[in-house]
């Protein structure tokens, strides 16, 4: 594990976009596709916006990139709190990625059903190959990442890859990838600013 400290948020954004671009392009030199898990929250958004800049976006073969989401609120995709909606506006609408390459969590349906459906989609995509090529994670003020909040049941999940996690601190249920899935990823990038 490498910890890289940036002297400013602008440097963090630039470094993250450059690092992501290099990892994606290097992986695609040897593999047919690249799987990228996006995080929600305020810190990743400017990284996605920078990644959409032609200086970075033009170097990436977006037709071979597949997008997933580490977590989602139980809201429709066009809701202002939707992680998918944020990523769509910041990145996905600005790069030539095929719509079929984007796997979003269904925040607008029953959370347990949405979690089971998303896990099935991930397993179908992986077809026996375990792990994503890159997972981007943030960290909340309370130490949560994805929607793995302190003291919630999802932290103890050992079998399922995606769950509907009851989050009493926020009086809500969130869809989230779990540690058994996140921990088998090839690369993980935590974006933490503050």
Q: Is residue 117 part of a domain?
A: yes
Q: Is residue 1 part of a domain?
A: no
Model pLDDT, residue 112? 98
Residue 193 has pLDDT above 90, yes or no: no
The total of other beta-carbon atoms located within 10 Å of residue 153's CB is: 12
Nearest residue to 19 via CA among 182, 188, 194, 192:
188
118 near 125, Cβ under 8 Å? no
Task: Render 152-182 in DSSP notation, one character per residue.
Answer: -GGGG-SS-SEEEEEEGGGTEEEEEE-HHHH
Domain residues for 65? 9-191
**Residue listed under structure tokens 């929250």:** 41
Residue 87 has pLDDT above 90, yes or no: yes
- Please state the domain count of the chain: 1
Q: Is residue 20 part of a domain?
A: yes
Residue 31 has pLDDT above 80, yes or no: yes
CATH number at residue 151: 3.40.50.1360
Model pLDDT, residue 1? 74
Q: Is residue 4 part of a domain?
A: no
Helix (H, G, I), strand (E, B) or coil at 35: strand
Q: Is residue 171 part of a domain?
A: yes
| Global pTM value | 0.96
Q: How far apart are CA 46 and CA 50, in angstroms?
A: 6
Q: Is residue 53 part of a domain?
A: yes
If one compares 5 and 72, the residue with the highest pLDDT of the two is: 72
Q: Is residue 2 part of a domain?
A: no
Show Cβ contacts of residue 90 under 8 Å, excluding neighbours closer than 6 positions. 45, 46, 48, 49, 52
Model pLDDT, residue 3? 83
- Residues 114-142, mean pLDDT to the nearest whole number: 94
Q: Is residue 112 part of a domain?
A: yes
Model pLDDT, residue 49? 98
Residue 47 has pLDDT above 80, yes or no: yes
């Amino acid at each position: 594990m490498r910890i890289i400290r940036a002297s400013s948020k602008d440097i963090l954004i630039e470094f993250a976009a450059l690092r992501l671009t290099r990892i994606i392009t290097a992986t695609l030199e040897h593999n047919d596709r690249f799987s990228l898990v996006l995080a929600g929250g305020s810190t990743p958004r400017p990284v996605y916006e920078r990644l959409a800049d032609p200086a970075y976006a033009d170097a990436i073969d977006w037709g071979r990139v597949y997008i997933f989401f580490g977590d989602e609120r139980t809201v429709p995709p066009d809701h202002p709190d939707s992680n998918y909606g944020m990523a769509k506006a910041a990145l996905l609408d600005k790069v030539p990625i095929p719509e079929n390459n984007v796997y979003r969590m269904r925040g607008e349906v029953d959370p347990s059903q949405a979690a089971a459906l998303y896990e099935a989609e991930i397993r179908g995509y992986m077809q026996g190959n375990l792990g994503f090529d890159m997972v981007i994670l943030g960290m909340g003020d309370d130490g949560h990442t994805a929607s793995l909040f302190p003291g919630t049941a999802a932290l103890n999940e050992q079998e399922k890859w995606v769950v509907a996690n009851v989050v009493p601190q926020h009086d809500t249920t969130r869809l989230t990838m779990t540690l058994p899935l996140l921990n088998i990823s090839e690369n993980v990038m935590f974006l933490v600013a503050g």
